């Protein structure tokens, strides 16, 4: 997602800046362990984001297939219902599972 990519880029730039200033004797974090933890969280976020993007792509493809099948079912239902309504009197529609009226 774009929001995550932006945050990752901001965070990478931040870590680089913190490391650069830390090398000059000014430190934001109390120790290297905190920097490593932050970088590890960035790495984890990046991996999770990639995994979610992959799942979204797979889901999108499955949704397209489902929608195509749905449209086919809907069209078949509509056509068959029209045929039944045109061929049988209204009293018989319920026999075919068509409760609606004209």
* pLDDT mean across residues, the chain: 90
- Asked if 50 and 62 touch (Cβ cutoff 8 Å), the reply is no
Model pLDDT for residues 15-52, shown as the tens digit of each residue: 888 888 877 776 777 778 888 899 999 999 999 999 99
Structure tokens at 6: 């932006």
DSSP string, 4-47: HHHHHHHHHHHHHHHHHHHHTT--SSSSHHHHHHHHHHHHHHHH
What pLDDT, on a 0 to 100 scale, did the predictor assign at position 58? 98
What pLDDT, on a 0 to 100 scale, did the predictor assign at position 29? 72
What pLDDT, on a 0 to 100 scale, did the predictor assign at position 101? 67
The pTM assigned to this predicted structure is 0.68
What pLDDT, on a 0 to 100 scale, did the predictor assign at position 45? 97
Model pLDDT for residues 42-100, shown as the tens digit of each residue: 999 999 999 999 999 999 999 999 999 999 999 999 999 999 999 999 889 999 999 87
Calculate the CA 92 to chain-centre distance: 45
Distances in Å between the Cα of 86 and the Cα atoms of 72, 79, 92, 93, 102 are 21, 11, 11, 10, 11
């Amino acid at each position: 997602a774009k929001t995550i990519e932006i945050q990752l880029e901001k965070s990478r730039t931040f870590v680089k800046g913190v490391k650069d200033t830390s090398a000059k004797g000014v430190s934001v974090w109390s120790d290297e362990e905190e920097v490593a933890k932050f970088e590890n969280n960035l790495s984890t976020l990046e991996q999770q984001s990639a995994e979610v993007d992959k799942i979204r792509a797979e889901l999108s493809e499955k949704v397209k297939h489902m929608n195509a099948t749905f449209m086919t079912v809907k069209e078949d239902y509509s056509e068959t219902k029209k045929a039944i309504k045109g061929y049988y009197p209204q009293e018989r529609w319920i026999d075919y599972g068509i409760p609606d009226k004209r």
